[in-house]
């Protein structure tokens, strides 16, 4: 049986394990390890040795269409969790992004831990445009791991 690369258009995003976000795009599933350059004072080598340092995680951005039933959902989430800081357990949660196969089963799952809503961008408005209204949200995260 031939094996093909997975398409990137079939995915699911949940926050806190129970709230599913219908999204058109997810980006920022990146992490990078900083390089520490070191040369000991008594080393005979005339170059610096490179060692792994701290790991940095990018912010996760989510874009989705604006629906009547979910209008303002990102804003309400931000207002409750960041502006009013209603409880530590609601302030940060796990953002789970799953790449799905043709049977709608997760093949690859990323878990962005301690995610909190950092930025909201509402749609731009154009009188001569013919596009759908897209809103976006950016989440700051503490760690990113691939669960499956």
HEC string for 72-134 = CHHHHHHHHHHHCCCCHHHHCEEEEEEEECCCCCEEEEEEEEEEEEEEEECCCCCCCCCCCCE
Q: Predicted confidence band at 121 (pLDDT cuts at 50, 70, 90)?
A: confident
The pLDDT value given to residue 12: 93
Return the domain boundaries, the chain. 11-35+49-146
What does CATH list as the number for 11-35+49-146? 2.30.110.20
- Lowest mean pLDDT, pick from 56-60, 73-77, 81-85, 107-111: 81-85
Tokens coding 107? 């093949």
The pLDDT value given to residue 75: 64
Task: Look up the pTM and report it.
Answer: 0.80
Tokens coding 35? 């390089």
- Lowest mean pLDDT, pick from 45-59, 61-75, 96-110: 61-75
Q: Which of the given ranges, 28-37, 38-47, 80-89, 109-118, has the highest pLDDT on average?
A: 28-37
């Amino acid at each position: 049986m031939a094996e093909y690369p997975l398409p990137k258009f079939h995915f699911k995003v949940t926050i806190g394990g129970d709230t599913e976000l219908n999204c058109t795009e997810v980006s920022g599933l990146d992490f990078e390890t900083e390089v520490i350059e070191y040369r000991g004072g008594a080393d005979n080598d005339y170059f610096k040795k490179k060692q792994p340092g701290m790991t940095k995680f990018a912010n996760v951005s989510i874009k989705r269409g604006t629906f009547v039933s979910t209008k303002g959902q990102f804003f309400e989430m931000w207002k409750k969790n960041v502006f009013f800081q209603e409880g530590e357990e609601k302030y940060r949660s796990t953002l789970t992004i799953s790449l799905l196969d043709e049977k709608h089963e997760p093949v690859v799952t990323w878990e962005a831990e301690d995610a909190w809503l950092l930025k909201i961008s509402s749609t731009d408005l154009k009188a001569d445009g013919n596009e759908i209204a897209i809103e976006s949200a950016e989440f700051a995260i503490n760690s990113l791991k691939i669960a499956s």
